[in-house]
Every structure is written in structure tokens, then in C-alpha cells.
Amino acid sequence: MNHYPWWKNLMVVLVVAVGGLLALPNLFGEDPAIQIARDDYQPVSEATVTRVRELLQRENLVNRGVFSEDGRVQVRFEGVETQLQAHDLLKEELGSTYGTALTMAPRTPAWLRAIGLRPMSLGLDLRGGVHFLYEVDIQGAVTQTLQRYESDFKAMLRKEDIRYVRVREQNGTVEVVLRDQADADAARELVRDSDPQLQVLESMDGGNVVLTVSMTEQQIRQRQDFAIEQNVTTLRNRVNEIGVAEPVVQRQGLDRIVVQLPGVQDSTRAKKVLGATATLEFRLVDLEGDAYQAKRTGRVPLNAILLENRQGQPILLSRDVIVTGDQLTDASSGFSEGSAVVHVRLDAKGARKMLETTKRNLDKPMAVVFIERKRETVERDGEQVDVDTTEQTVINTATIRGVFSSNFQIEGLTPFESRDLALLLRAGSLAAPIYIVEERTIGPSLGQANIDQGFEAVAVGFLVVVLFMAIYYKAFGLVADLALMMNVVLLVALLSLLQASLTLPGIAGIVLTVGMAVDANVLIFERIREELRGGNTPQAAIHAGYDKAFSSIADANVTTLIAAVVLFAFGTGPIKGFAITLSLGIITSMFTAIVGTRAVVNLIYGSRKLKSLAI
């Protein structure tokens, strides 16, 4: 009656054995460590590794070893205090050429790493790291869209040979000024064909007809939402490019984005790459005007803009943009004839426009403009205010020697600049500028304190439950305690296998799981006691207890699992961490409390003639 077939017993043994193996890397802990890498992405030389060893030895900073791997140097320490002292020393001695970051390095043995086993991934609050809260300039996203409309309208009017006085974006609209009514009617049709939702108002300015093109409220909201979602995607791409495990990048509220990078302690480069609103524009050089005179007098020709190159020399460029950074599909850094370059690939629309431009403008110069938007704090009338600034620099000017479209290269950069620019372009340009409104760095010592407190909470909860079950249910209680222990092991194994980040709320989920895991056994054991009081034999009581309690156990756990899934679907960072551990805990507890304990009970009582049960 109370016997499992051999395959079911084997399954239980295999699940427990595999779970124990997957959870094993978590027993070895982590070492406080420092990671050293060159800012220009070149491998760290052996001479630098030797220098690091000598510096640490000179200052008597005890370490577990200095290792070189993947072109970087990793130094392991026994304690956080030594790690922090070494970090300050190495940062000062190695200079700005090298980036030094605090991190935690797992002590997993080589044979476990060889088969791909890793400890659980720890979240920001346990491992330490950096937290950024960005504000998205959603009004800037609308302005960018209007500027794109301006460029498109000019191209359409030229293509249809419609004469116009000017097309300019200003005050949240695009003004199209034409000389007569016939041209205005034709231009209005072109605008409506390009986007039927656009609003077009007509007015007179002297003898000219003015078409004022504006976006609807719905279009503005859609553009703002798109800008935020696009920025979230771009930030995720940039995080992937700089290599951070288990990052959190998500929207918060109307116009903010949260970025959390566990394990990153040196936020300088992360902030530089993530927050860079750098993009490119390709424009023709205006050969008709005098750039030096325009700079001296402040009078810039109507269809031109005045910028400077890196040497501070003024350059006049056409107001019409050929291609923008958001039309790039790929970018990679490399070398050509001994100089650093960025190889660029355009999308279909950008390629067509570049092809048309190069066909019409052979032997004329084209400029590459690097645009970066920043927010600076300045003092005005005794108060600190934030001011948004845009820096536009001509980084390259070259004569168009041949016709090209989707593939070309950008020159005039240093190796470091070419790598960073390629990274930003490859990850995608931001759809709207972003500005940091909050920055926090959580040190590894605080993370370790959170781990210690969380472990204590789990241990105390586990111990109280174990004692209660052993005292109240005697031998059956000890079986439940064994299943509870295996439940925790399997839960840790799944977290390690899935590399789901464990956070403080996740630890709360584990504590809750410990209490819920024995709930199924309580229902089973109480049912067995009822059967015994009803006069059933011990073997029949065991069989009936497990069979009749199963429906109640399944109902209770399924409803809790549904709540956990809803929390994961609609929650954010910490809530998701709690939902993940709770969901996995429900799955493992169903296995250990029903299948696991039944296997042990069958092994102990299944082949015996019983007069009573220790329950």
C-alpha cells in the first residue's frame, strides 16, 4: 500500500543529488576584490601586474592573489577594509589610464566553474553597486521630432520644385513660408500626405503665406512615451555593452528611468557611458559664406549654422541634416592606414539620403558633427539652478570623392574616442536627453551586512519551525524537517541555475517559503491523525492522509502561486525579487512536502506491521 515504484524513488534521489550539486557553489562564499582595466580597452600588460603586486607588498596589504584574466587584473583580499585601502592606493598610483573598481569575486573551485556552475546572483542591496535615477527630457523628444519634420519638409519641397522662403522649427511648431497661394496649397498636401495627423494652420505675413504645422496632443503623448521606452531599450543595450551582470533598467513614473548595476563600485565610466546623449549628424559644409566673418559679426547666413571644430576654428554648415545618429544600424571601431576610425552602417532610409547627397555633391566637403547634451548647475541671483546645454563639435570634415550610401567610415578620432563613439552608436542613440537626478553607491560592506542579517533571519525562522515540527509531530515531524532542509537546498539550486538576482525582498520570500513549506505536511499529518482516531490501521491512515490532503494542498499553493505571478508581472525591482523566490519556493515545497516526505515515510514504515505511529 505504501510503496513507491523504483523509478519514483530514483527520481527523488536524482533531484536531491542534482539540487545539492547546483547549490554547492554557494557554500564557498566570495572574496572582496578589485578589478583593474585600461580605459582604452587594451589588455593589461604583465609589467602592470608586477607593479600591482609590488605596490601591495610595499604597503603590507595582504591579499589572496593577483590574477590576470581576459585582459584585466583581479586582486582578491580577505577583508573589506584591506580592499578599500588597496583601492585608494592603486587608484592614486596607476593614474587615470586605468579604471579600478570594487567588486566581489566568488571562491568557487575550478572544477565547479569548469562544468558551468555558479553561485546565486546577488542584487544591488546585497552585493553593492550603483543606483542611478534619470529624468527624461520629454519636451526635448518633441523638439527633436519637429526638427526632423523640418528637414523632411525641405527635402519634399525641393523634390516637388515648390519654391519656399524658409522652413524653420520654432516654439513647438514648424513654419513653412511660401511666396504664393498655389505653392501653399501644394505644400499643404505634401505635409498631410507625410503625416495625416499633423495640424496645419494658414496665415499671411506681408505678401507671404505661412503654414504653421503642429503636432496633436495625442501625437505628443505618443512621442513622449516612445522616447522613454526607446531610452530604456538604449540604456539596456549600453549596459550590455559595458558588461554588467543582472542589471535593472526600468521606467519609473511619467518621465524617469531607474538603472541599478550590481557589483559596480566605480560609477565614473558607467555614468559616462549610460548618460551620454551623444549622437552624430552629417551635414554639408556651406562654401558660400565666410565662417570667420560670421563668428566676428554674429551674423550667420539664413540657411547655415555656425559651429567650431576641435581646434576652435569656425565652420559654416548647411542647416539641412543629411543623416542623424538614430539612422545608424551598426558601428565598430578599427584602424585604417594607421589611424583610428569608426565604421558606420546606415539603415535603408539613411542610405538613400546619403546616396542622393553624395551624387549631387561630388568634390564638396561634408562634416560629421558630434552632439552632446548636458545639464549643468549654475548660480543665478544667489540660487543654484539647472541649465541644459548642447555642445556641437565638428569632429571630421572630408571631401566627397565618390558616391556611397550605407557603408562608410569616420576619421579624425583617437583610439579611445573611436571605441567609445562606436559603443554609443552601436547601442543606439537616446531618443531624448536624460539627466541624473539621483545617484547612490552601495558599498560591499553594507551589502555584506544585509547578507548576514538576511541569513540570520532565515536561520532563526528555520530553527523555530524545525523545533516545533519535531516536538509536535515526533518522528513524522523529523521527516518534515528533512524535507524542509531539502526544500531550501532546491530553492538555492534553482536560484543558482536561473541566475535570478537575490535581493533583500527575495530573502523575505525565502523566510515565508520556510513557513509555507511545512504547511502541506501539517495538513497531511493532521489528516493521518484523524484517520487513526477514526479507527483506521496505521498503513491505511498514512495512505489516506497523503491522498485526501492533496487537493487542499494543491488549492492553497496554486492560489499563492497565482498571486506570486501577478506580483512578478506588475511589480518592479524589489517586488519581482520577492515574487521570484516565492514562486520557486512554492514549486520546490510541493515536491519536497508531498513526494519527498512520502518517499521517506514509505522507506521507514512501508514494509512494517504497525500498531501505532509516532505522530
Alpha carbon distance 431, 228 (integer Å): 8
Residues across the chain: 615
CA dist 40 and 77 (Å) reads: 26
Please state, in angstroms and as integers, the Cα–Cα distance from residue 292 to each residue in 298, 301, 303, 305, 308, following that order: 10, 12, 17, 13, 10
Q: Which of 172, 232, 157 is nearest to 434 (CA)?
A: 232
606: helix, coil or strand? coil
pLDDT at 8: 86
- H/E stretch holding 392 reads strand 383-399
User: What's the CA gap between 556 and 163, in Å, rounded?
Assistant: 74
The residue whose grid cell reads 498631410 is: 192
Tell me, what's the pLDDT at 276?
A: 62
Helix axis angle, 267-275 to 217-242, nearest 10°: 140
Chunk the chain into consecutive blocks of 10 residues (it has 615) and report each block's average pLDDT, rounded to whole numbers.
Answer: 80 91 87 77 82 88 82 83 84 78 78 85 75 83 82 83 85 86 87 85 85 88 83 78 66 84 66 67 87 86 85 87 76 77 81 86 85 69 71 81 77 70 65 78 68 81 87 88 90 87 82 82 88 85 85 86 86 77 89 87 80 79
> CB–CB of 408/322 below 8 Å?
no
Q: What pLDDT score does 348 carry?
A: 82
Compute the Cα dihedral for 14, 15, 21, 27 and give only its sign.
Answer: negative
Q: Say if CB 146 and CB 172 are below 8 A apart.
A: yes
Contact 100, 94 (CB under 8 A): yes
Angle, CA 383 vertex, CA 379 and CA 389 arms, to 5°: 45
For residue 49, the one-letter residue type is V
What type of residue is 507? I
Through-space distance between the first and last CA atoms of the chain, rounded to whole angstroms:
19
Give, as one character, the DSSP assignment of residue 43.
P
User: What is the maximum span of the chain, computed from C-alpha positions, in angstroms?
Assistant: 111
Q: Which residues contact 361 (CB under 8 A, 6 or more apart)?
A: 284, 400
Among 84, 82, 83, 65, which residue's Cα sits nearest to residue 74?
65
Q: What whole-number distance in Å separates Cα of residue 139 and Cα of residue 152?
A: 20
pLDDT at position 241 is 59
**174 close to 168: Cβ distance less than 8 angstroms:** yes
User: What domains can be seen in the chain, in order of their start residue?
Assistant: 6-25+443-605 (1.20.1640.10), 30-106 (3.30.70.260), 138-219 (3.30.1360), 276-441 (3.30.1360.200)
- pTM for this entry: 0.60
Within 13 Å of residue 301, how many CA atoms lie on the same side as its CB? 17
Q: How far apart are CA 394 and CA 283, in angstroms?
A: 10
- Name the β-bridge partners of 409: 343
H or E segment to which residue 322 belongs:
strand 314-324
Closest CA to 378 of 369, 370, 367, 389: 389
> Bridge partners of 102?
34
Mention every residue, 6+ apart, whose C-beta is less than 8 A from residue 270: 130, 132, 242, 244, 261, 264
d(CA 359, CA 363): 10
CA distances in angstroms from 401 to 287, 361, 589, listed in the order given:
17, 9, 71
Q: Running DSSP on this structure, what letter comes out for residue 500? A: P
Interatomic CA distance for residues 136 and 184, integer angstroms? 37
From the list 570, 565, 479, 475, the residue with the least C-alpha distance to 517 is 479
> CA-CA-CA-CA torsion for 320, 397, 291, 355, nearest 10 degrees?
-30
| Pairwise CA distance, residues 583 & 107, whole Å | 29
Please choose, from the candidates 250, 252, 248, the residue with its C-alpha nearest in 3D space to the C-alpha of residue 260: 248
Residue pair 514/584 in contact (Cβ under 8 Å)? The answer is no
Single-letter amino acid, residue 213: V
Task: Give the 3-state secondary structure of residue 171.
Answer: coil
Q: How far is CA 354 from CA 105, 145, 157, 213, in A?
A: 49, 20, 18, 26
Residue 499, helix vs strand vs coil: coil
Q: What is d(CA 279, CA 281) in angstroms, rounded to the nearest whole number?
A: 7
Render 396-418 in DSSP notation, one character per residue: EEEE--S---SEEEE-S--HHHH
To the nearest 10 degrees (0 to 180), the angle between helices 538-570 and 597-605 is 170
d(CA 239, CA 106): 22
- Please give the pLDDT value at position 243: 55
Locate 34 and state its grid cell: 578589485
The cell for 106 is 566568488
